[in-house]
Structure 1
Amino acid sequence: MPVTYRILGAPSLAVDLAGHGPFALFMHGIGGNRSNWRAQLPAFAPHFACAAWDARGYGGSEDYEGALAFDDFVDDVLRVLDHFGVERAHLVGLSMGGRIAMRTALRHPDRIATLTLLDTHEGFEAFTPEQRQAFVDSRRAPLLAGKEPADIADAVARSLVGPKATPAQLQQLVDSIAALHKASYIKSLQATVDQVVLGDISLIAAPAHFVVGADDRLTPPAMHHEMAAKMGGAPVSVLPDAGHLSNIENAEAFNQAAIEWLTPRASMGSTPGHWPI
């Protein structure tokens, strides 16, 4: 069973940790929390020290004052690594978590061993202005009009999952969205849309593996092949029977593909230097 740690600071962060070995940090999407990785930690734990965080303003992590700059997430990644005494980490990021992972690899290449990037994109430059507006309006506008995350959870979840998602998988995503901290989620929406580009991802030195659901409508497979080409022809695993939440919708296929690629590269990362209380 994972042990929950609290990373002190402003804001404090909640992190679940399971297993032993090289450190791998799992980062959820903009509508998620650390529970989105509950099918991954047991599978990866025999090979890695697996940490799943709640990003600032999500789940068990604290809210914070002022606006959010996207690079605040990057600074938080370093806080987690430093807390566990990790020199170089494997990053596994879904959607917004994938963008955080790529941005961290660009800003701090010496701290990142590999990237496993799921159902993500390199910034809203890849979307038309109409797509950007639709993304924000479907989420932020109802909240600013007085609705709560629970009020939009079902509609947003259904827009993300593929047609073969089970009721249980859909409900897991609905629960994640319903649990969002409203003010912090609005800040995340603004910050992620404001950051039109992450930077030149061709400059990322860390080996990368892209994973995408075959039925992902928001960030489709073609988008991942384009990013992979910029990153030296990185491999792309397209998972059947999955939409934008491929690690939830087809957990078995994701775990197999990700572990097969990552395990031979495990030694590129560092094991935790200490296990704080």
Structure 2
Amino acid sequence: MKLTANGIDIHYTIEGEGPVVTMSHALGCNLSMWDEQAQALSGRYRVLRYDTRGHGGSSAPPGPYSLEQMADDLHGLLTGLGITQTHFVGISMGGMIGQTFALKYPMLLQGLILCSTTSRYPAAMRSTWVERIRTVEAKGMEPTVEPALQRWFTPSFRERRPDVMERVRVMLRSTPPHGCIGCCYAIPTIDLTDRLGEVRCPALVIAGEDDPGTPVAMAQEIHVALHSSELAILRSASHLGNLEQPEAFNRILLGFLDKATE
């Protein structure tokens, strides 16, 4: 399904009945990365998944994009669907959108779950994003595919689950290059650590213990800044812990949601 909001068409899907849980994906992915979670949650929650601008079935206008713009996209989607309260689950880039959204639209949030993400990047990491933009501008998405898999999953999982690797390759290759580039301009600008104390809804921070891109230290920084938040570490997981350790991820997520919804 599609809905026009904030000047773009947003592709989304809704499953289940109950309190709303909105899910936002990682850079280069799409809403299908949450398939296992939607299946686990939809028995008692109304699960809204959507493609971020520049990804999947949503519009990919020329960039650069901003995190505030992507938070406004989400606000437009929720408003268009008549949703006035939601839990939010965001992974990586999705977690950055979630932090931005929580600070701009706090009244809409019932709970905030931030996975494999950061609230700020060291200045030294900005050059990494500049290089990624240049690579995609020159050669498209293909050069990013295998390096992403190496960062996102542990070596043993990559060897054990070639089916998941192929599924993620397809997502990465199908992402419009200019959509990826637009988001790559937004991601390294995040600098919200000092404002997270303003967030009042229940919060959960999930990190993979073997994640090189957003290591546990970044999750701990968010956890400290988000008053009364919970912190969960996924063992034997790298960046996309929802795909690498879905049973543990779903157990942690459902446990938090059930408490936060009471």
Q: Give percent identity, aligned residues only.
A: 25
1:152 aligns with 2:144: yes
Name the counterpart of 2:2.
Answer: 6
Please give the alpha-carbon distance, in whole angstroms, between the structure 1 residues aligned to 2:236 and 2:129: 23
Look up the SS of the partner of 1:20 in the other structure.
Answer: coil
Please give the alpha-carbon distance, in whole angstroms, between the structure 1 residues aligned to 2:10 and 2:137: 26
- How far 1:134 sits from its partner (Å)? 2.3
Please give the alpha-carbon distance, in whole angstroms, between the structure 1 residues aligned to 2:212 and 2:60: 31
Name the counterpart of 1:17.
Answer: 14
Name the counterpart of 1:258.
Answer: 253
Q: Which amino acid aligns with 1:133?
A: S
- How far 1:224 sits from its partner (Å)? 1.0
- How far 1:264 sits from its partner (Å)? 2.2
Look up the SS of the partner of 1:63 in the other structure.
Answer: coil
1:140 aligns with 2:133: yes
- Contact 2:194/2:225 (<8 A) preserved: no
- How far 1:69 sits from its partner (Å)? 2.3
1:76 aligns with 2:68: no
In the alignment, which of 75, 82, 98 is matched to residue 101 of structure 1? Answer: 98
Task: After superposition, give the CA deviation of every residue in 1:2-53 in whole Å (9 maximum; x if it has no partner).
Answer: xxx2112421000011101111110001121111101110100011100111
1:161 aligns with 2:153: yes
In the alignment, which of 106, 115, 118 is matched to residue 121 of structure 1? Answer: 118
Look up the SS of the partner of 2:156 in the other structure.
Answer: coil
Bigger mean CA deviation after superposition, 197-206 or 10-19: 197-206
Please give the alpha-carbon distance, in whole angstroms, between the structure 1 residues aligned to 2:194 and 2:73: 19
- Contact 2:3/2:80 (<8 A) preserved: yes
- Contact 2:129/2:185 (<8 A) preserved: no
1:87 aligns with 2:87: no
Please give the alpha-carbon distance, in whole angstroms, between the structure 2 residues aligned to 1:61 and 1:205: 31
Name the counterpart of 1:37.
Answer: 34
User: Number of residues paired by the alignment?
Assistant: 258
- How far 1:66 sits from its partner (Å)? 5.0
- How far 1:159 sits from its partner (Å)? 2.2
Q: As a proportion of its length, which structure holds more helix? A: 2
Please give the alpha-carbon distance, in whole angstroms, between the structure 2 residues aligned to 1:233 and 1:263: 17
* Counterparts in 2 of 1:245 and 1:66: CA distance versus 1, 3 Å: closer
Name the counterpart of 1:270.
Answer: none
Name the counterpart of 1:207.
Answer: 202
Look up the SS of the partner of 2:36 in the other structure.
Answer: coil
Please give the alpha-carbon distance, in whole angstroms, between the structure 1 residues aligned to 2:25 and 2:222: 20
Aligned pairs (5 A) from 1:183-198 = 183-197=178-192
Q: Which amino acid aligns with 1:49?
A: R
Task: After superposition, give the CA deviation of every residue in 1:167-190 in whole Å (9 maximum; x if it has no partner).
Answer: 223223222211111111111101
Please give the alpha-carbon distance, in whole angstroms, between the structure 2 residues aligned to 1:195 and 1:221: 18
Please give the alpha-carbon distance, in whole angstroms, between the structure 2 residues aligned to 1:40 and 1:94: 12
Please give the alpha-carbon distance, in whole angstroms, between the structure 1 residues aligned to 2:111 and 2:95: 12
* Counterparts in 2 of 1:236 and 1:45: CA distance versus 1, 3 Å: same
- How far 1:233 sits from its partner (Å)? 4.2
Please give the alpha-carbon distance, in whole angstroms, between the structure 1 residues aligned to 2:136 and 2:216: 30
Two-structure CA RMSD over aligned residues (Å): 1.7
Unpaired runs of 5+ residues, structure 1, are 268-277
* Counterparts in 2 of 1:66 and 1:121: CA distance versus 1, 3 Å: closer
Please give the alpha-carbon distance, in whole angstroms, between the structure 1 residues aligned to 2:30 and 2:43: 23
- How far 1:136 sits from its partner (Å)? 3.9
1:221 aligns with 2:219: no
Unpaired runs of 5+ residues, structure 2, are none
